[in-house]
Structure 1
Amino acid sequence: MKKMDILLKITLITTLVGITLAIFNLVFLSSLSLSIISILIIPVGPFIFQYRKYRERKEVEERFPDFLRDVAQNIRTGMTIPQAIKSTKDTYYGALTPYIKKMIVQVDWGVPLDKILTRFANRTTKPLRRTVLTIIDTHKGGGDIADIFDSVGKSIVEVNRINKERSSIVHNQMLTGYIIFFVFIGVLIMMQIYLIPSLQGISSPELGLSDFEELNRFYNDIFRILIVLQGFFSGLVIGKLSEGSIISGLKHSMILVIIGSLALLIFI
């Protein structure tokens, strides 16, 4: 809970800083570069918040089979189901630990297993929710709970393994996305260094540009906007392909936009 409170504060601070910077720039400076910086600052907090939640959900999914295996082993040693669950209270399951502690509290209150699992399922992701509901239905059908926990845990581990193999397979596609973006940056830099100077002496009245210096700044600003747009959407695509999530793509978006902006600052 403390981590989430900190993330919420970070989100609020970065959003306020970005909006304040954008208003200040709009009123006093009218600088496109500063506008881009303020645009980049605003989503930093929400991105950190959402990505943290995404990583925690993934960790819960990955550690849930460990919990099921431990409970199944405890049941086989002769413990009752409530005792088997309570015996895991000192085991650390990463992001899953707070959920387990809530389960143990409910066990102490005498809440039935089906209700405990249903409440847990309602607080987790859809894939894990379906898995827990399967456990509940099978348990109601009279199956051995230890065997159910074991088989479901193994199924989750297998699904996680397949997902990791999928991620490694599409790794080349992720690299391709980065390479395409770097080529795009290279083309813009070459245009700014070699093509735009060749237009020296040419004015563009229809654009409101009376001299080469204004023309140079005009294209420089256009290239910065293109870098931000290309980096942002390329990152989303890379994240969707590599990890199957738009939220994870925000990480790649931030990386690409920062790299592209730095490249323009250094080489132009």
Structure 2
Amino acid sequence: MKTKDRIMISFAKILPSAYRKNLSQLFVYAGKRTNPEVWVGSSVVISLILFIVLVVTPYFLTRTFDIKYILIAFGVVITVQMMAYLMVYFRVEDRTKKVEEALPDALQLISANLRAGMTPFEALKLSARDEFGPLKEEIEFATAKAFGTESFTKALLNMSKHIKSEMLERAMKLFTTAMRSGGHTAQLLEELSKDIAETRTLKKELVTNTKTYSMFIMFTIVIGTPLLLAIAIHFLKMVTAIQAKTGRSTVGFGLDFLAGQITISPEFLTKLSMVILFITSLLACMLMGVISEGKAKHGLRFAPFVIGASIIVFFIARQMIGSIIGGL
């Protein structure tokens, strides 16, 4: 083992063992052959470097410690760790999706091979096609293990330990059960293939039917919310400017709402708007993940783009509204 890897593994031990164990399992599902401890250690080192830079740099510039920069540094550390985890998680999800897309065709091919008089081992081995992607790799790995030191049944069941897919796990269990019981394995696999294909078709139809709701949510978050917040800030600026000019002379002229003291400044409302846009965009992306894939984490893939777009629209809208009102 290289010295660099040893150092990274030492840094990885800073994080809880439960987290490292969970990430190690995700590495197996993702098909990664590298040591997960090295990956975790690298993310820890990057987090520590960024933390030190964000805390020390303001001190050298101002010669004072500000709690604000420490909180920002902690936020960056948490963000880096989340990104390191989500990168592996999304690779697992992509691999699972590719396997489940190829599974019906693979089962049909295995069934056809069995009907042609092949043994289950030969039928599985010859079904490994390049277009099956990750499933081809697992089929080749399983047949290699079965050809060597492991039983064919155990090699089939272990395929689900390398790919996070309930469909694949159920298919392999039915395959092994049919072989043990001496049933009509080819017919069973063919029916299972049709069932999986129908399930995926229904899922696609469900996603298609909910696209209208998804588009409405995205429009509200990316366009509607930033626009309303920009209008609110300029309304506050107008009221503050009117109060500064008229003072309390508006009382009794139907403008009593302008007489009260406003404790919220436009600058504070701008910062609050940024927080609101960040939180609402994040929650909206999680909701989109639930709608499309049934998993909130899946929507986090689009969070940086949605958050960035909503903030950009907010500043553009604020500038445009300011120009329009200023020209009146």
Task: Say whether the fold is shared (TM-score over 0.5).
Answer: yes
1:115 pairs, out of 142, 154, 163, with: 154
Show the counterpart of 1:143. Answer: 183
Give the drift of 1:178: 0.8
| C-alpha distance 15-235 of structure 1, shift in aligned 2 (>3 A) | farther
* Partner residue in 2 for 1:86: 125
User: Which residue number corresponds to residue 152 of structure 1?
Assistant: 192
Q: 2:313 aligns with which of 259, 263, 267?
A: 263
State the SS of the aligned residue for 2:265.
helix
For the pair 1:101 / 2:151, whether they are aligned, the reply is no
Which of 177, 181, 191 aligns to 2:232? It is 191
Distance 1:18 1:172 in 2: 41
Structure 2: unaligned runs, 5 residues or longer: 1-30, 60-64, 245-261, 319-328
Moved more, 227-236 or 58-67: 58-67
Contact 1:14 1:45 in 2 (8 A): no
- Kept in 2, the 8 Å contact 1:18–1:41? The answer is no
Deviations 1:161-200 (A, max 9, x none): 1111111111111112112213112111111233334224
The answer for the alignment partner of 1:131 in structure 2 is 171
State the partner residue of 1:209. none
Residue pair 1:18, 1:39 contacting (<8 A) in 2 also: yes
- Between the aligned partners of 1:14 and 1:190, the Cα distance in structure 2 is 40
Q: Hey, what does 2:100 align to over in structure 1?
A: 61
User: 1:236 is matched with which residue?
Assistant: 286
- Number of the residue aligned with 2:15: none
Deviates most, 109-118 or 49-58: 109-118
TM-score (norm 1): 0.79
What is the distance in 1 between the residues matched to 2:68 and 2:174? 58
Percent identity over the alignment is 16
Q: Which has the higher contact order (CA 8 A, sep 6+)?
A: 1
What TM-score do the two structures reach when normalised by structure 2?
0.66
Query: In structure 1, what is the equivalent of residue 274 of structure 2?
Result: 224
Contact 2:51–2:73 (Cα < 8 Å) also in 1: no
**What is residue 205 of structure 2 aligned with on the other side?**
165
- The partner residue of 1:178 within 211, 218, 222 is 218
State the distance in 2 between where 1:265 and 1:36 align.
26
Runs of 4+ in 1 over 6 A off after TM superposition: 3-7, 34-37
Alpha-carbon distance between aligned partners in 2 of 1:40 and 1:195, rounded to the nearest angstrom: 35
2:257 paired residue number:
none
Task: State the match for 1:207 in structure 2.
Answer: none
Aligned partners of 2:216 and 2:33: how far apart in 1?
35
Cα distance in 2 between the residues matched to 1:115 and 1:101: 14
Distance 1:71 1:12, change over 3 A: farther
Task: Provide closer, same or farther for how the CA distance between residues 159 and 84 of structure 1 changes in structure 2, counting only shifts above 3 A.
Answer: same
What RMSD in Å do the two structures reach over aligned CA positions?
Answer: 3.5
Aligned residues: 258
CA contact (8 A) 2:54 2:69 kept: no
Cα distance change on mapping 1:155 and 1:172 into 2, 3 Å = same
Q: Provide closer, same or farther for how the CA distance between residues 12 and 31 of structure 1 changes in structure 2, counting only shifts above 3 A.
A: closer
Matched residue type, 1:228: F
Q: Cα deviations across residues 81-123 of structure 1 (Å, max 9, x unaligned)?
A: 2222222345341222321121121231164332122111333
Which runs of 5 or more structure 1 residues have no equivalent in the other structure?
A: 203-211
Shift of 1:70: 1.9
Distance 1:174 1:244 in 2: 14
Q: Any idea what the Cα deviations from partners look like across 1:201-257, whole Å, max 9, x if unmatched?
A: 67xxxxxxxxx9x92221111111111111111110111012211121112333321
Structure exhibiting the larger radius of gyration computed from Cα positions: 2
Distance of 2:312 and 2:219 partners within structure 1:
16
Cα distance in structure 2, aligned partners of 1:245 and 1:177: 17
